[in-house]
Chain A
Amino acid sequence: MSTGWLVGSVVIAVIVAPLIGGLLRGIDRKLTAHMQGRIGPPIIQNFYDLIKLFGKKPMVAGKPQLVFAWGYLFLIITAVVFFALRQDLLVVLFILGFAGVCLVLGALSVKSPYSQLGGHRELLQMLAYEPILLLAVIPIALKTGGFPITNIFEYGQPLLPNLWLTFIALVIVLDIVMKKSPFDISSSEHAHQEIVRGVLTEYSGPYLAIIELAHWYELVLLLAILGLFWIVGSLWWLSILTPLAIWFILLITDNICTRLTWSWMVKFAWGVGISLIALNILVVNLGWM
């Protein structure tokens, strides 16, 4: 790949990713409203929200939370850039992990009952999804002969037929990261009122906007990772449709599920998610897939 192509893809990723993320969040609200028999807000509603938040007067609860909000945003953008540069997938996930740590530290840095509760719950969410996310890279690497994303492009065949177990496990991860029911434990993606928005409780105005923006990037990045499973071959257009279909299924789950306890979440994620991937790695190692 030429340098120009790489630079172009980075620029596109950094500019287009939040636009897609914001639109998806808007469509999410619209579809959710329709499922509840309402009309719902315009699909560009989340851009209005974001601009409004940026225009509010800052109200801060200590310096560390501001530092970590910036850290969260920048690190997620870095992960997106590394993804666009087709770097090592494991490294992309490590950067994403660091971003997650920043979000938690931002919440835990304020002596506030709700923020503390949210921060600790977010840690448990990370405990639930991080191992699956990291493990999901292994079968991909075993199939394609290496960890860099370039290898997936050079592999020449779609991964999903062989790695659908891993794919399902990643869907669980996506649901936890998106904070959708039944995993809206540390906070909720929607503006629900439980633990008055957990990790986000003490953020307001521009800094809330920064975190929302980072969340858009994160959403698009995870959907893009799901897209990698179809990225090559004649069915490449499925790499766009499949993540969107999965995302739609998660919307339905969100609307029909209640929130469940964190202990259930950890058990479910470790039990089901890790087992699925373990099975997948095993069959790949044995050469059955």
Chain B
Amino acid sequence: MSILTKSRIKSPWLLHYDCGGCNGCDIEVLAALTPIYDIERFGIVNIGNPKHADVLLVTGPVNHRNKRVLRNLYEQMPEPKLVIAVGTCACTGGIFYNCPNTLGGIDKIIPVDVYIPGCAVRPEAIIDAVVIALGKLKEYKG
């Protein structure tokens, strides 16, 4: 494994975007930052700017209003980048499935690398998903 790949795996910076869920998953994402779970142990930093981020965490179902924002944030992340759909809503639309204002899972708009089902997901699951997603970087050819 090259030093660059290793560095990529050791340093995933997250951008967190809430497409409009119930906030349950968002609370769990933030819980992962607390001393109990301390995701910074793995070099993971929650960052506020897509231009600095490597991993996009999306919660909630995408809808007609925010699909533009979601796409824009995704586009403003430099390659290589990963997308994790956090929670059932982000995966499939969840309880909002077939609602006229939503489109369903975020994979309708942007490519998703890892899906974490759950309502709400547990912080351990989020950390696990990030680790799985990082495994994909091993095959990344820039």
**Which residues of chain A have a CB within 8 Å of any CB of chain B?**
29, 33, 36-42, 45, 47-52, 54-59, 114, 191, 193, 196-197, 200-205, 208
Within 8 Å by CB of A38, from B10, B11, B38, B142, lies B38
Within 8 Å by CB of B43, from A36, A37, A45, A59, lies A45
What total of chain B residues lie within 8 Å of the partner, measured CB to CB? 27
Do B48 and A48 touch across chains, with their CB atoms under 8 A apart?
no
Check: B100 CB closer than 8 A to any chain A CB.
no
Minimal Cβ-Cβ distance residue in B for A202 = B51
Interface of B is mostly: mixed
Do B49 and A201 touch across chains, with their CB atoms under 8 A apart?
yes
Do A40 and B38 touch across chains, with their CB atoms under 8 A apart?
yes
Q: With the chains together, A214 CA to B10 CA distance in Å?
A: 22
With A48-B6, A197-B52 in contact, do A204 and B43 touch (Cβ < 8 Å)?
no
B-chain residues with CB within 8 Å of residue A197 when the two chains form the complex:
47-49, 52
B-chain residues with CB within 8 Å of residue A52 when the two chains form the complex:
4, 7-8, 10-11, 54
Do B7 and A204 touch across chains, with their CB atoms under 8 A apart?
no
Check: B128 CB closer than 8 A to any chain A CB.
no
**Which residues of chain B have a CB within 8 Å of any CB of chain A?**
3-4, 6-8, 10-11, 13, 35, 38, 40-43, 45-49, 51-52, 54, 76, 78-80, 142
**When A and B form their complex, which 7 residue pairs have the shortest distance between CB atoms, in order from nearest?**
A193-B48, A51-B7, A204-B51, A57-B79, A48-B10, A59-B78, A196-B49
Q: With the chains together, A58 CA to B40 CA distance in Å?
A: 25
Would you mind naming 23 contact pairs between A and B with Cβ atoms under 8 Å apart?
A33-B40, A39-B41, A40-B38, A41-B41, A45-B10, A45-B11, A49-B7, A52-B4, A52-B7, A52-B10, A55-B4, A55-B7, A55-B142, A57-B78, A114-B49, A191-B13, A191-B45, A191-B47, A193-B48, A196-B49, A197-B48, A197-B52, A204-B52
Do A29 and B8 touch across chains, with their CB atoms under 8 A apart?
no
Do A36 and B78 touch across chains, with their CB atoms under 8 A apart?
no
B-chain residues with CB within 8 Å of residue A51 when the two chains form the complex:
3-4, 7
Do A56 and B78 touch across chains, with their CB atoms under 8 A apart?
yes
B-chain residues with CB within 8 Å of residue A191 when the two chains form the complex:
13, 45-47, 52
Within 8 Å by CB of A48, from B11, B38, B76, lies B11
Within 8 Å by CB of A41, from B8, B42, B48, B52, lies B42
A-chain residues with CB within 8 Å of residue B13 when the two chains form the complex:
49, 191
Further 4 A-B residue pairs, CB within 8 A, beyond A40-B41, A56-B54: A38-B41, A40-B38, A48-B7, A208-B51
Q: How far is the CB of A258 from the nearest CB of chain B, in Å? A: 18
Q: How far is the CB of B6 from the nearest CB of chain A, in Å? A: 7
Q: How far is the CB of B18 from the nearest CB of chain A, in Å? A: 14
Q: How far is the CB of A241 from the nearest CB of chain B, in Å? A: 28
Q: With the chains together, A223 CA to B36 CA distance in Å?
A: 34
A-chain residues with CB within 8 Å of residue B41 when the two chains form the complex:
38-41
A-chain residues with CB within 8 Å of residue B80 when the two chains form the complex:
56-57
Q: How far is the CB of A106 from the nearest CB of chain B, in Å? A: 14
Q: With the chains together, A54 CA to B142 CA distance in Å?
A: 12
Q: With the chains together, A59 CA to B45 CA distance in Å?
A: 20
Do B38 and A193 touch across chains, with their CB atoms under 8 A apart?
no
With A48-B10, A48-B11, A48-B43 in contact, do A59 and B35 touch (Cβ < 8 Å)?
no
Do B43 and A38 touch across chains, with their CB atoms under 8 A apart?
no
Q: With the chains together, A196 CA to B13 CA distance in Å?
A: 14
With A36-B35, A51-B3, A55-B8 in contact, do A196 and B42 touch (Cβ < 8 Å)?
no
A-chain residues with CB within 8 Å of residue B42 when the two chains form the complex:
41
Do B51 and A33 touch across chains, with their CB atoms under 8 A apart?
no
